[in-house]
Structure 1
């Protein structure tokens, strides 16, 4: 008899619990996983712009039948802007910069028999680049990258003959040289929008042939001098960039009532 009563009490308890659940008296909560994270995007994504300063070393080779060389160092400073795509720790980007540079090289030869001299000058005044970038992002705030592309700049070439072979004249030509550049660097996020940057680049403008002409000064009619110049330089810079596309924080996991 007691066993029967116990069984009946258990049945009534189960029926009461089922009724309460059906009537909505109990609410069951289930874990809803967060939406799948987008694998692309990150703190370095989007547009950026900034300023960089540094120094560099330039060299020139002058070819007038014999090869002459000279080197100089100078200050550089300018602005940079670009756009980055960050995906799964990889970064692809495109950037451009324009910079001031002051390097002045001079080479020359003397005439052993006539006592005269012939002097050549090559002065790099400014340069710019259009480059691609590829890099790796570590710890969400550190970037190491390589870069390369097109380089261009303003170069003044000159010649000065001081009674060389009995001829005295001088001439200057200003050229916009075009070449290539390659380099690399690092960036470190200081906060959501500002990053410290350090980079180094090599720029090669290749060979340029300039023709100088002069009348008089010992010339029998017109004197012509054809000179080959080969200009290249490297720069190391530091600066700050501002990131315009700081990403929003990822949504936190949530618990939602089961419907």
Structure 2
């Protein structure tokens, strides 16, 4: 006789395991500030521009989360707070507004907070990434008497700007990772106390830090 009339029972194939996401993490970093804003003297037919160099080290603390993976890409966000010695020396350029007497020009970032998207391409334990977002910072600066008249002029304000950058992250264990990144920050034009001087407040930062995953 022929075999059983019952249909063979087919075992379902196991579902593919979903990519594990690291979830929430905290990080800390030490950064070196470089480059800086430009101050322009508007009191002549030819604009006089002086580059201000911001330098010094600052510390950063923050948190982040990877929230999705699509193909070979990772999507996440980070928020952080940075404070430290992000300031210039007295700059004496060959042009007004940083030429007169002993005043020169100054620029300082007292603190900075950022919220950024992070898009990475994981390659085993290493992930290069790009990042971009918004920045809110407390800044101040000054120009010389020659540009401002009888008194030194300047600004002291909190500004909203933007940042872009790139970095690389390497997993050391299930809990720990290291990362390094370079960021460019643009805070727009500060409001000097005179119409004779304007500025473009930008700077860069290179950071090296540790990540702890919860």
Q: Could you say which TM-score interval applies, normalised by the shorter chain?
A: 0.7 to 0.9
Change (3 A) 1:79 1:31: farther
Change (3 A) 1:107 1:207: farther
Q: Distance in 2 between matches of 1:81 and 1:55?
A: 20
- Aligned partner of 1:137 in structure 2 is 122
Q: Distance in 2 between matches of 1:46 and 1:117?
A: 53
Alignment partner of 2:74 out of 91, 112, 126: 91
Higher-Rg member (1/2):
1
Alignment partner of 1:55 out of 29, 32, 39: 32
RMSD of equivalent CA atoms:
2.8
- Aligned partner of 2:132 in structure 1 is 148
Instruction: Give the unaligned 5+ runs of structure 1.
Output: 1-29, 213-224, 245-259
1:46 aligns with 2:23: yes
What is the TM-score when the length of structure 2 is the normalising length? 0.78
What is the TM-score when the length of structure 1 is the normalising length? 0.66
Residues 110, 116 of structure 1: 8 Å contact kept? no
Tell me how far 1:169 sits from its aligned partner: 2.2
- Aligned partner of 2:207 in structure 1 is 237
- Aligned partner of 1:182 in structure 2 is 164
1:37 aligns with 2:16: yes
Structure ranking higher in strand proportion: 1
What is the aligned residue count? Answer: 194
1:169 aligns with 2:151: yes
Instruction: Give the unaligned 5+ runs of structure 2.
Output: 1-8, 43-47
